[in-house]
Structure 1
């Protein structure tokens, strides 16, 4: 996911639909994905969400109504969305957005299973970040 692989289709369009809370991405191969902001937020590639290695992922919840307030381009390979909950450290490469779009149904099902296993739901507020150490500044 470090960048655009030679086999990854290139993005042709990117539209933020604020009212429906969906990021629409169109690719050169004709693929068109409508990615809910909530899905993008809970699968952010940031260390704050993914951790620094396998098994260190932090389940995100209470993000049903999260919005994207800005999208910043990162070179020619990624975007950095700024979310209404203050999260802005995830760099979404074109390849990662394509992966999220093509696997959206499976990822959503996995997310709902993880919420259920943790005894929380999409509306349960997350506790505030601790001001101590760790990835809270990522």
Structure 2
């Protein structure tokens, strides 16, 4: 499954992905940030990414055969392969429920740690 286009929607805080087979998916920015590839390396001890409810995906850079660099407003960026993006789409419900369960058990929150007001 190849990606045809992305649409970043800052109003809904979601990314719409159109695939070349006619399918599309909509993934929340928080979900993409929480399941960033760098946080899910099998060789590292998996850490729980918290406090990302208000994160915004600011840009996507095409990296050719390597995939796409997603750049978030919390100064994080990571390379998402097409295969990994497709996996995030197909496993969204299970991954998100598992994340919420782990988050609750850890005593952490999805909410930002500080309030930021733009003047």
* TM over 0.5, shorter chain: yes
- 5+ unaligned residues in a row in structure 2: which ranges? 115-119
- 5+ unaligned residues in a row in structure 1: which ranges? 1-8, 127-138
- Classify the secondary structure of the residue corresponding to 1:109: helix
The residue number in structure 2 matching 1:86 is: 75
Distance 1:124 1:19, change over 3 A: closer
- How many corresponding residue pairs? 114
- Classify the secondary structure of the residue corresponding to 2:37: coil
Relative to total residues, which structure has the larger helix share, 1 or 2?
2
Instruction: Identify the match of residue 31 of structure 1 among 17, 23, 31.
Output: 23
Structure 2 length normalisation: TM-score? 0.87
Structure 1 length normalisation: TM-score? 0.76
Q: RMSD between aligned alpha carbons?
A: 1.8
Distance 1:124 1:65, change over 3 A: closer
Instruction: Identify the match of residue 48 of structure 2 among 43, 47, 59.
Output: 59
Instruction: Identify the match of residue 125 of structure 1 among 99, 102, 113.
Output: 113
